[in-house]
């Protein structure tokens, strides 16, 4: 005769399982709390250790205080120097270029120049040809304006010219 096997849990077992739920919840809660406590303790210990290492590192840095002062001063000064070098208008290069184009027979009598790069120059030349040569050479600059030309063959010529050096 075939024997019946009941695969469903018995009522007793079901009741037992239901009774386990609160217990599991409590264990999980306690586990989380315990885990958090342990984690917090680990972090506290790590912080204490880091604190000690910070103090050591601070002592090391403090031992090099003099070197630090020097290094910082050098940095400030070099940045300052570079700033000044960039801020200065390069008059020497400008005048070097300008000097090369002034004909040797002529004389530069008046000049005005500013850091905006606008130059105005008065040049005296003995002849019109030399004056023409000077005007041609001025083409290396931008915005050349001949403000005035005066003079004659006997006394020579005078020209006031302005241009942009930038």
Partner 1 sequence: MLNKYRNYIIAILCFLAVGVIGVLVIVPALGLVRDEYEKLTSDQEILRKLTEKANKLASLNEPEIRSQLAIANSALPAEKESFGIISGLDYLVATAGGRLESYAFTAGPEERILKRSVKMAPFTVTMSGGSYALFDFIDQVYKSLRLMGVENISLIDGVATLKMATYYQALKENLGEIETPLEDLTESDRRGITEVTNYALVTTTPALEPVGKPNLFGP
Contact (Cβ atoms closer than 8 angstroms) between residue 98 and residue 138:
no
- Asked if 112 is part of the footprint of partner 1 (rule: CB under 8 A), the reply reads yes
3-class secondary structure, 94: helix
* Piece in contact with partner 1 (CB under 8 A), picked from 1-9, 70-78, 128-136, 153-161: 70-78
Stretch that binds partner 1, among 72-80, 127-135, 142-150, 153-161 (CB under 8 A): 72-80
Q: Are 55 and 77 in contact (CB under 8 A)?
A: no
Strand 142-152 relative to strand 118-125: parallel, antiparallel, unpaired? Answer: unpaired
Q: What are the residues facing 146 on neighbouring strands?
A: 161
Task: Single out the residue of 2, 5, 9, 81 in contact with partner 1 (rule: CB under 8 A).
Answer: 81
| Residue 73 found at the interface with partner 1 (CB under 8 A) | yes
Residues β-bridged to residue 164:
118, 142
Binding-site size, partner 1 (CB under 8 A)? 65
- Residue 119 CB: number of other CB atoms within 10 A? 22
Please tell me whether residue 16 binds partner 1 under the rule CB under 8 A.
no
Give the SS3 label for residue 75: helix
Q: Is the CB of 3 or the CB of 11 nearer to partner 1?
A: 11
Question: From the list 111, 140, 146, 149, which residue makes contact with partner 1 (rule: CB under 8 A)?
Answer: 111
DSSP string, 5-43: ---SPPHHHHHHHHHHHHHHHHHHHHHHHHHHHHHHHHH
Q: Which of 9, 13, 26, 136 binds partner 1 (CB under 8 A)?
A: 26
Min. distance of Cβ 33 from partner 1 in angstroms? Answer: 6
Given candidates 88, 97, 142, 166, which one binds partner 1 under the rule CB under 8 A?
88
Query: Which residue in 131, 134, 119 sits closest to 157, CA to CA?
Result: 131
- Report the interface residues with partner 1, using CB under 8 A: 15, 18-19, 21-22, 25-26, 29, 32-33, 36-37, 39-40, 43-44, 46-47, 50-51, 53-54, 57-58, 60-62, 64, 67-85, 87-92, 95-96, 99, 107-115
């Amino acid at each position: 005769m075939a024997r019946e096997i009941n695969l469903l849990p018995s009522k007793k077992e079901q009741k037992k399982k239901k009774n386990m739920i609160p217990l599991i919840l409590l264990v999980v809660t306690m586990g989380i709390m315990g885990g958090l406590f342990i984690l917090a303790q680990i972090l506290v210990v790590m912080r204490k250790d880091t604190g000690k290492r910070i103090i050591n590192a601070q002592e090391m840095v403090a031992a090099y205080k003099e070197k630090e002062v020097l290094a910082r001063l050098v940095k400030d000064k070099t940045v300052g120097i570079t700033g000044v070098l960039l801020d200065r208008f390069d008059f020497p290069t400008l005048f070097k270029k300008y000097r090369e184009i002034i004909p040797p027979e002529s004389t530069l009598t008046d000049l005005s120049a500013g850091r905006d790069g606008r130059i105005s120059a008065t040049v005296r030349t003995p002849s019109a040809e030399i004056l023409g040569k000077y005007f041609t050479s001025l083409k290396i600059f931008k915005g050349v304006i001949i403000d005035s030309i005066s003079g004659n063959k006997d006394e020579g010529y005078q020209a006031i010219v302005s241009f942009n050096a930038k």
